[in-house]
């Protein structure tokens, strides 16, 4: 969980479009491409089997808006050929943007109706060149109101995932489409069911995928405030869990600050141990000794986070976290997070685990080799350190110079 210094504002937002076969993905794409919004959008198509049909449809409809780039990836399902093709396509786009030949406001990737969106989304967490160019903005899942219950109910053989459930679980926005084909009572029942799986994706009802482009593109998926603005009820999931599904969502809202190092360790361990069952994780953290919000998201075990905008004066400092996944253990997640809250007791406990007491004669590894000194402070922080960082020791060298040790490990600081 390394905080990167990348400037998110300059990265091209990428929308991953998913949804069962026939749910309306192409209809939505056409709508995005033909609506007047003045944005230049590249579309990456991934069709399996009937390659070309969607592409033709799009080109016909988007003639008026010749700015879009439509790229088709012919070699099968993204989640099988995995990320390499996608990386190649994105790198080409990046080059053209860098050379000034192409200005891009967004990228939309349409996944095949059966694909698990995770490998597509994960591309934006793993490849350095891609990370420097684009960011995963959100996963938008189209729901066919007429058929979704059938797909959610479908029994799969042992060990085989139900793609319809997964697509709902991964979503940052759910478009409940084809509302003209069902009754209000059906819609209400379906919405309850969807919230039981994913309580955090606002649900937008649509006919022919007619939706404001701003509510699906550049939505900054981790922005819980925006989500709450769109759907103030989204954290209110009481009574909506009548379906005892193994895929569900959990949120934590915690006032105060958490310690960066503790939370890094916790998240690292969590994703290592539970990454397969945590589909999505996202949030905004209030970190001690940092003026900026730490925003992050993860898709399975791949994590991406950075310090973002500043906390405003008077804005309450609090952390908001969301987990969506299979067989989540709410108590374990809450306990794990609570242990990262920065309190005087936690600080004292951490000081007790340090190897060297105040006044201990030590040697520190410096640019000029091992240098002798004495521990003069525990859990030291100054304004020149990166946001959130606290050093276990401040050391006064025999020369009188004050330095700090970034970690309590023997190859950086040892007994003299």
Residues lying near ligand GTP in the complex (CB under 6 A): 19, 21-27, 54, 113, 142, 177-178, 180-181, 207-209
And the tokens for 40?
């230049």
Question: What is the Cα–Cα distance from 22 to 2, expressed in whole angstroms?
Answer: 40
Q: Which is nearer to ligand GTP, 108 or 281 (CB)?
A: 108
Q: How far is the CB of 227 from ligand GTP (least distance, A)?
A: 24
Nearer to ligand GTP, 75 or 210 (CB): 210
In the block, residue with structure tokens 């794990």: 336
Residue keyed to tokens 């959008």: 41
Pick between residue 173 and residue 350 the one whose CB is nearest to ligand GTP: 173
Pick from 204, 206, 214, 226: nearest CA to 39: 214
Q: State how far the Cα of 150 lies from the Cα of 259, in Å rounded to an integer.
A: 45
Those residues whose C-beta lies under 8 Å from the C-beta of residue 111, and which sit 6 or more positions away, are 16, 17, 18, 46, 78, 79, 117, 120
Residue placing its CB nearer to ligand GTP in the complex, 182 or 224: 182
Select 180 or 291, whichever has its Cβ closest to ligand GTP. Answer: 180
∠175-195-284 over CA atoms, to 5°? Answer: 90
Q: In angstroms, what is the minimal distance from the CB of 150 to ligand GTP?
A: 15
**Strands (E) located in 121-246:** 134-144, 173-177, 203-205
Q: Least separation, in Å, of the C-beta of 221 and ligand GTP? A: 21
- Give 209 or 299: the residue with its C-beta nearer to ligand GTP: 209
Whole-angstrom CA distances from 147 to 142, 249, 333, 352 are: 12, 23, 34, 59
Determine the Cα–Cα distance for residues 416 and 364; give it in Å rounded to an integer: 9
Nearest distance from residue 366's CB to ligand GTP, in Å?
60
Cα separation, 200 vs 139, in Å, equals: 12
Measured from the CB of residue 181, what is the shortest distance to ligand GTP in angstroms? 5
Q: How far is the CB of 178 from ligand GTP (least distance, A)?
A: 4
- Relative to beta strand 302-310, strand 318-326 is unpaired
Residues belonging to the chain: 416
Closest distance of CB 54 from ligand GTP, Å:
6
| Shorter beta-carbon distance to ligand GTP: residue 115 or 136 | 115
Judged by CB, which is closer to ligand GTP: 170, or 266? 170
Q: C-beta of 142: minimal distance to ligand GTP in Å?
A: 6
Assigned token pair, 106: 């967004």
Please state whether 203 falls in left (phi above 0), alpha (psi between -120 and 50) or beta.
beta
């Amino acid at each position: 969980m390394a905080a990167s210094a990348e400037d998110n504002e300059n990265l091209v937002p990428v929308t991953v479009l998913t949804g069962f076969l026939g749910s309306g993905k192409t209809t939505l794409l056409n709508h995005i491409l033909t609506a007047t919004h003045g944005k230049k959008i590249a579309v990456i198509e991934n069709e399996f089997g009937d390659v070309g049909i969607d592409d033709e449809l799009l080109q016909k409809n988007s003639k008026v808006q010749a700015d879009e780039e439509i790229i088709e990836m012919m070699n099968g399902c993204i989640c099988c050929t995995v990320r390499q093709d996608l990386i190649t396509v994105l790198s080409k786009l990046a080059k053209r943007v860098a050379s000034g030949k192409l200005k891009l406001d967004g990228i939309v990737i349409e996944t095949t109706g059966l694909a698990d969106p995770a490998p597509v989304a994960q591309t934006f967490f793993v490849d350095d060149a891609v990370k420097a160019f684009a960011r995963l903005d959100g996963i938008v899942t189209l729901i066919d109101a007429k058929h979704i219950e059938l797909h959610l109910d479908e029994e799969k053989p042992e060990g085989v995932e139900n793609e319809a459930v997964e697509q709902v679980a991964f979503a940052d926005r759910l478009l409940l489409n084809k509302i003209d084909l069902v009754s209000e009572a059906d819609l209400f029942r379906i919405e309850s069911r969807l919230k039981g799986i994913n309580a955090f994706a606002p649900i937008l009802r649509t006919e022919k995928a007619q939706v404001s482009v701003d509510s699906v593109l550049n939505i900054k998926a981790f922005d819980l405030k925006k989500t709450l603005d769109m759907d103030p009820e989204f954290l209110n999931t009481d009574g909506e869990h009548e379906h005892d599904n193994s895929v569900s969502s959990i949120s934590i809202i915690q006032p105060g600050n958490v310690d960066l190092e503790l939370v890094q360790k916790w998240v690292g361990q969590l994703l290592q141990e539970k990454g397969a069952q945590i589909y999505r994780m996202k949030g905004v953290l209030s970190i001690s000794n940092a003026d900026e919000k730490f925003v992050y998201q993860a898709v399975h075990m791949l994590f991406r986070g950075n310090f973002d905008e500043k906390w405003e004066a008077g804005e309450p400092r609090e952390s908001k976290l969301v987990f969506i996944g299979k067989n989540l253990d709410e108590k374990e997640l809450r306990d794990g997070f609570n242990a990262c809250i920065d309190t005087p007791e936690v600080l004292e406990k951490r000081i007790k685990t340090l190897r060297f007491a105040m006044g201990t004669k030590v040697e520190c590894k410096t640019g000029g080799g091992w240098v002798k000194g004495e521990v003069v402070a525990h859990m030291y922080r100054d304004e020149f350190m990166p946001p959130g960082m606290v050093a276990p020791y401040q050391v006064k060298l025999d020369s009188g110079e004050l330095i700090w040790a970034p970690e309590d490990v023997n190859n950086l600081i040892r007994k003299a």
